[in-house]
Amino acid sequence: MGTTEQTQTQVNMISVDLLVIGGGPGGYHAAFDAADRGMKVALADENATLGGVCLNRGCIPSKALLHVAALIQETRRASEWGATYADPSIDLDKLRAWKDATVQRMAKGLDELARQRKVQTFQGRAKLTGASSAEIAGHGRVEFKHCLLATGSRPKSPSLFHPLGNLLMDSTSALALENIPQKLLVLGGGYIGLEMGTVYAALGSRVTVVEMQSALLPGVDSDLVRPLARNLASMFETIHLDTKVTSASIVNGEVQVGMQKGSEETLETFSKILVSVGREPNTQALGLEHTAVQLEEGGFIKTDSNGRTDEPGIFAIGDIVAGAMLAHKASHDAQRAINWIERGEAGKSSVIPAVVFTDPEIAWCGLSETDARRKGIAFHVSRFPWSASGRAQAMGRGEGLTKLILEPESNKILGMGVVGVNAGELIGEGVLAMNMGASAKDLAHAVHPHPTLSETISEAAFAGMGQAIHIYKRPRK
Ligand code: FAD
């Protein structure tokens, strides 16, 4: 952002159709879309680069590191297939530089796209001063017809861990890769903890995960989590479930952590601790008190499904509103809000997929089996195990599973779940199928190329209709 001509502009007062606060995947998507529709747009972000958490300290740097982690794991597996590699030697400076260069390349691209669209970008913290005005620190006052709040979220930081100083990491400092701790405790078995744990384990840390609930990735269907849990059990030193961290202090330059499982209490020492116990919305010091914008449970901004807040003219999207805290959900929110601002009508809504980029990956969309049971929704499941997929077997990855959640009579697709390598690339087909109201028959009769992992989707669909060629199912009564 620092490179654009507009950023250098010192404004005493400008007037725009749309002010966007926050330049993450929600904010920049909204700004670019609005500019494409002919609006005069200003975009403020306190960061030096556009892209928000996702590009600068989330999705992209973590995936760059996970790519390297996957490569390391794959070379280890290769010895089973007769290709034996020596243990990798890690040049941390080079690895960090590669990750940072990836982020910088993408950020430069966003800057250029903002410039081409004549979106005025400002680096500075923005604050609402009324229902149609804001102040951008270091720049000045902006008057707007509409404002879109997209200020995202930050990691939760329990005060118990504050005395640990630089022995404590959150997702941002973990991505900075200061060093490779010998013994790392990851607190939280959600997707960010498991992704970062995977990175550090591949780079050589002995990783322990502590999760308060009785399973990793709480809430995700257990048959999808099982193959991942098995692989993580061999990659990580220990996984403690149903366990709480009750104390943490520095002893002889290391972190001594107290853990409690039922009535059993233990003390263990780690080189560092990564706390990933969730995220909270950035709604503080936004000047909301000068407007009618309301907050709801968890501190999220209250909106309708088009991002409209209680203040006409002010919209909110992405991680600061309730729902999945995911980049593509923020971008989808942006599209709907801009549609409303331009035309006063709701845009088409889409199913929001979710992907955990571990090894193997887990991806799902629509109704999960867990939710269907909890809500008492009638469904049946069809599963296709990857042990019967030629492509999965040829990759040595037969542990995967593709499943469809189907409406009992019509076989309409209510949800899809996948665990296995590249599950994240496969789930898009489930999203498209659901958005189009497709049934198992539609998926089954779309010819999928052989041999690919995508065949597991049509096989699961055939199984849902009664019989799939590569597995035998007793006919349903
Ligand atoms: P953000 O991306 O959080 O952007 C908000 C921006 O607003 C920030 O730049 C912030 O500095 C700025 N800001 C805040 N307050 C102000 C203010 N008052 N004035 C000016 N600027 C302000 N999601 C996925 O979909 N896939 C993934 O693989 C994935 N991986 C992740 C990995 C990690 C380690 C983390 C932490 C997150 C990951 N996420 C992933 C989540 C994803 O990053 C977020 O859901 C997404 O960035 C939210 O987008 P947003 O536009 O709502 O806000």
Atom of ligand 1 nearest to the CA of 126: 19
In this structure, the residue with its CA closest to atom 46 of ligand 1 is 327
Tell whether pTM > 0.75. yes
Question: What integer pLDDT is reported at residue 13 of this predicted model?
Answer: 86
Nearest atom of ligand 1 to the alpha carbon of 25:
51
26 lines ligand 1 (CB under 6 A): yes
Ligand 1 and 27: CB distance under 6 A: yes
| Model pLDDT, residue 294 | 98
Give nearest CA residue, ligand 1 atom 36.
58
- Separation of 132 CA from ligand 1 center, angstroms? 25
Say if residue 10's pLDDT is above 60: no
pLDDT single digits (tens) 218-267? 999 999 999 999 999 999 999 999 999 999 999 999 999 999 999 999 99
Residue in the block written with tokens 């403020």: 44
Given a contact cutoff of 8 angstroms between Cβ atoms, the answer to whether 283 and 294 are in contact is: no
Report the residue among 20, 53, 170 best suited for mutation to probe ligand 1: largest number of ligand atoms under 8 A from its CB. Answer: 53
Amino acid at 299: G
CB-based burial label for 280 (10 Å; 0-12, 13-18, 19+): middle
What residue's CA is closest to ligand 1, atom 21? 45
Q: Which of 54, 198, 291, 361 has most ligand 1 atoms within 8 Å of CB, for mutation?
A: 54
pLDDT digits (tens, 9 = 90+) for 330-356: 999 999 999 999 999 888 889 999 999
Distance CA 200, CA 177 (A): 9
Centroid of ligand 1 to alpha carbon of 414 (angstroms): 29
And the tokens for 344?
Answer: 């006063």
- Distance, in Å, from the CA atom of 447 to the CA atom of 263, rounded to the nearest integer, reads 55
398 touches 386 (CB < 8 A)? yes
pLDDT average, residue stretch 291-312: 97
Q: How far is the CA of 155 from the centre of ligand 1 (A)?
A: 10
- Measured in Å, residue 207 CA sits from the centre of ligand 1 at 26
Q: Contact at 8 Å (CB) between 134 and 127? A: yes
Tokens 């804001």: give the residue: 134
Query: From the CA of 136, how far away is ligand 1's center (Å)?
Result: 19
What digits encode the pLDDT tens for the residues 42-92?
A: 999 999 999 999 999 999 999 999 999 999 999 999 999 999 999 999 999
**Measured from the CB, is residue 330 less than 6 Å from ligand 1?**
yes
Is 77 within 8 Å of 396 (Cβ atoms)?
yes
CA angle 468, 473, 477 (to 5 degrees): 115
Mean per-residue pLDDT, 298-326: 97
More confident residue, 6 or 191: 191
> Which protein residue has the closest C-alpha to ligand 1 atom 28?
59
Question: Is residue 332 annotated as part of the catalytic site, yes or no?
Answer: no
Which of 102, 151, 358, 362 maximizes ligand 1 atoms within 8 Å of its Cβ, making it the mutation to test the pocket?
A: 151
Atom of ligand 1 nearest to the CA of 29: 51
For position 467, what pLDDT does the model report? 81
pLDDT, position 461: 97
**Predicted local confidence at residue 411, as pLDDT:** 97
- The confidence band for 7, taking pLDDT boundaries of 50, 70 and 90, is very low
Question: Is the CB–ligand 1 distance for residue 286 below 6 Å?
Answer: yes
CB 208 within 8 A of CB 240: yes
pLDDT tens for 101-147 read 999 999 999 999 999 999 999 999 999 999 999 999 999 999 999 99
179 token code pair: 């060093």
The rounded percent of the chain whose pLDDT value lies above 90 is: 94
Amino acid at 273: I
Residue from 294, 351, 291, 299 nearest 322 by CA? 299
Q: Check pLDDT > 70 for residue 9.
A: no
Q: Does the beta carbon of 45 lie inside 6 Å of ligand 1?
A: yes
Mean pLDDT score, 412-422: 98
Q: Which residue among the candidates 29, 240, 450, 470 is catalytic per the annotation?
A: 450
Q: Would the pLDDT of 8 be above 60?
A: no
Q: What is the pLDDT of residue 432?
A: 98
Cis preceding linkage at 451, omega within 30? yes
HEC sequence for the chain = CCCCCHHHCCCCEEEEEEEEECCCCCHHHHHHHHHHCCCCEEEEECCCCCCHHHHHHCHHHHHHHHHHHHHHHHHHHHHHHCCCCCCCCCCHHHHHHHHHHHHHHHHHHHHHHHHHCCCEEEECCEEEEECCEEEECCCEEEEEEEEEECCCEEECCCHHHHHHHHHEECHHHHHCCCCCCCEEEEECCCHHHHHHHHHHHHHCCEEEEECCCCCCCCCCCHHHHHHHHHHHHHHCCEEECCCEEEEEEEECCEEEEEEEECCEEEEEEECEEEECCCEEECCCCCCHHHCCCCECHHHCECCCCCCECCCCCEEECHHHCCCCCCHHHHHHHHHHHHHHHHHCCCCCCCCCCEEECCCCEEEEEECCHHHHHHHCCCCEEEEEEHHHCHHHHHCCCCCCEEEEEECCCCCEEEEEEEEECCHHHHHHHHHHHHHCCCEHHHHHHCCCCCCCCCHHHHHHHHHHHCCCCCCCCCCCC
Tell me the CA–centroid distance for residue 222 and ligand 1, in Å.
28
Predicted confidence at residue 11, as pLDDT, reads: 60
| CA dihedral sign, ordered 383, 389, 395, 398 | positive
Alpha carbon of 323 to ligand 1 centroid (Å): 14
Mean of pLDDT over the chain: 95
**pLDDT at residue 155, rounded to an integer:** 97
C-alpha–C-alpha distance, residues 307 and 434, integer Å: 23
Please confirm whether the linkage preceding 360 is cis (ω < 30° from 0).
yes
Residue of 20, 94, 19, 106 lying closest to 58 (CA atoms): 106
The predicted structure's pLDDT at residue 474: 72
Instruction: Tell me how crowded residue 118 is: count the other CB atoms within 10 A of its CB.
Output: 10
pLDDT, average across residues 299-328:
97
Closest C-alpha to ligand 1, atom 30:
59
**Which of ligand 1's atoms lies nearest the C-alpha of 175?**
34
The pLDDT score that the predictor gives to residue 473 is 74
Residue 95: alpha-carbon gap to chain centroid: 22
